[in-house]
Amino acid sequence: MDRLRASGEVTSEDARMTIKLAKEFGFCYGVERCIDLAYAALKVFPDKPIYILGEIIHNPEVNDQIRDMGIRFLSGPNKVADIDDLGADDIVIIPAFGTEVATLEKLKAKGCQFVDTTCGDVMSVWKRVRNYAKEEVTSIIHGKAYHEETKATSSQATSKNGHYLVVLTLEETDYVCDYIENGGDKEEFLKKFEGAYSEGFDPDQHLKAVGVANQTTMMRGETEEVQRRIKAAIERKFGAAKVDSHFRFFDTICGATQERQDALDVLLQKPMDLLLVIGGYNSSNTAHLAEMGEGVLPTYFIKNAAEMADASLIRHWNQHTNQVDETRDWLPDGTLTIGVTAGASCPNNLIEDVICRLLELRGSSADEFLSN
Ligand code: SF4
């Protein structure tokens, strides 16, 4: 992968297929640190039970490896125990996207020891949201309400007696903006955002002073649009002179997410026939990379090389229907240029597998490529 990163592209033996890589792709610093700390925990506590709250990262292969190394899961498909089963001797790993304040308190009450791998970029969002709460400003979080990171961030607001509302789309943002400006049907509002606001949240009371934050892995352009639209609604409602007392904003997209989006932006300027985006199907940052590709050329979001059954069939994630689609004749004959990128939770070996598989499908020897 180091060689591929340096060269940025690889060509098949018959020179009929060129694979171009984005300049930045794959594991981010937060995920690398998280996995390093999990390995370190096994060494430091060889005789103690080690648990992890949920998926270490959004990649099934990596989670299976962690489980096979003896780390026990407290949620998800690999779950073997509940927090209620834990005691003072147990070690608990907190994943890179952090956890909710109430979960942390519960673990503390049980006397568990933590290996806290929460990414610093996630903690900076928490700080921002806590400050909003202290100033009695409601946090409007651009993110996915069910995502572990957003749940953890939301809990930071309520831990300081603040309120939050999570918006995912521009359509939802416009609905909130209209409510800020003109009021509306409170019951309808609460039903529309069910599960995405704090207990006791009242849109008539809690949208008078708002601060925008975001899940670290959102699309920057969309997050900026969310804040622009909310600021404009506040301006129309309270007047430009009073914006500062009713509106706050802080860009909390993390550096790694931004670098991967920027690098894909550059790659998409080049003439290419199709794009492969590699990553776990529940990975938010990978989904955004796929979304960027979809707007430009045929894009296939795959979790590993096995999804490329052969040149006539590829299985790939459709993030709009939440299902795996099958596309026939996805790898046309003739000279092809294929772009490849990967999300922040995708390990190098899966990216290498995909590149080797592409070469194989075109009759090139991946072994020869790897030994060069
Ligand atoms: S994607 Fe960003 S916030 Fe998440 S772990 Fe990686 S660096 Fe940290």
- What CATH number is given to the structural domain containing 67? 3.40.50.11270
Residue ranges making up the domain that contains 225: 121-249
User: Which of 119, 149, 164 is the last residue before a domain boundary?
Assistant: 119
238-257 average pLDDT score: 92
Which protein residues are within 6 Å of ligand 1, measured from CB?
A: 28-31, 96, 119, 121-122, 216-217, 254, 256-257, 285, 344
Q: Which of 32, 149, 294, 360 is catalytic?
A: 149
pLDDT digits (tens, 9 = 90+) for 66-125: 999 999 999 988 899 999 999 998 999 999 999 999 999 999 999 999 999 999 999 999
d(CA 312, CA 242): 60
Q: pLDDT tens across 129-167, in order?
A: 999 999 999 999 999 999 999 999 999 999 999 999 999
Q: How far is the CA of 256 from the centre of ligand 1 (A)?
A: 6
pLDDT at 3: 77
Same-domain pairing of 129 and 196: yes
Rounded to two decimals, the pTM is 0.89
Is the pLDDT at 204 greater than 80, yes or no? yes
Do 146 and 226 reside in the same domain of the chain? Answer: yes
For the stretch 256-286, pLDDT in tens is 999 999 999 999 999 999 999 999 998 989 9
Q: Measured in angstroms, how far is the CA atom of residue 28 from the centroid of ligand 1?
A: 6
Q: What is the distance between the alpha carbons of residues 317 and 290, in angstroms, rounded to a whole number?
A: 10
Q: What is the pLDDT of residue 51?
A: 97
The first and second tokens of residue 332, run together, are: 């046309």
Question: For position 253, what pLDDT does the model report?
Answer: 85
pLDDT of residue 76: 87
Residues 164-183 have pLDDT tens digits of 999 999 999 999 999 999 99
Q: How far is the CA of 340 from the centre of ligand 1 (A)?
A: 20
Q: Which of 79, 104, 119 is the endpoint of a domain?
A: 119
- Report which ligand 1 atom has the smallest distance to the Cα of 96: 5
Instruction: Find the 65 Cα to ligand 1 centroid distance in Å.
Output: 20
For range 328-343, the mean pLDDT:
94
Q: If you average pLDDT over residues 233-247, what whole number do you get?
A: 96
Q: Is 209 found in the same domain as 98?
A: no
| CATH, residue 293 | 3.40.1010.20
Domain-ending residue, one of 55, 86, 119: 119
Per-residue confidence band for 7, with pLDDT thresholds at 50, 70 and 90: confident
- Per-residue pLDDT at 371 exceeds 60: no
**How confident is the model over 32-79, as pLDDT tens digits?**
999 999 999 999 999 999 999 999 888 888 899 999 999 999 998 889
Residues with Cβ within 8 Å of 189's Cβ and at least 6 positions away in sequence, in order, are 175, 179, 203
Provide the β-strand partners of residue 277.
Answer: 301, 341
Predicted confidence at residue 73, as pLDDT, reads: 95
Same domain, 245 and 335: no
Question: Ligand 1 pocket check: which of 35, 217, 223, 289 to mutate, most ligand atoms within 8 Å of Cβ?
Answer: 217
Specify whether 99 is located in the same domain as 59. Answer: yes
DSSP conformational letter for 279? S
Cβ-Cβ contacts under 8 Å for 332 (sequence gap 6 or more) = 273
Distance CA 37, CA 50 (A): 12
Total structural domains in the chain?
A: 3
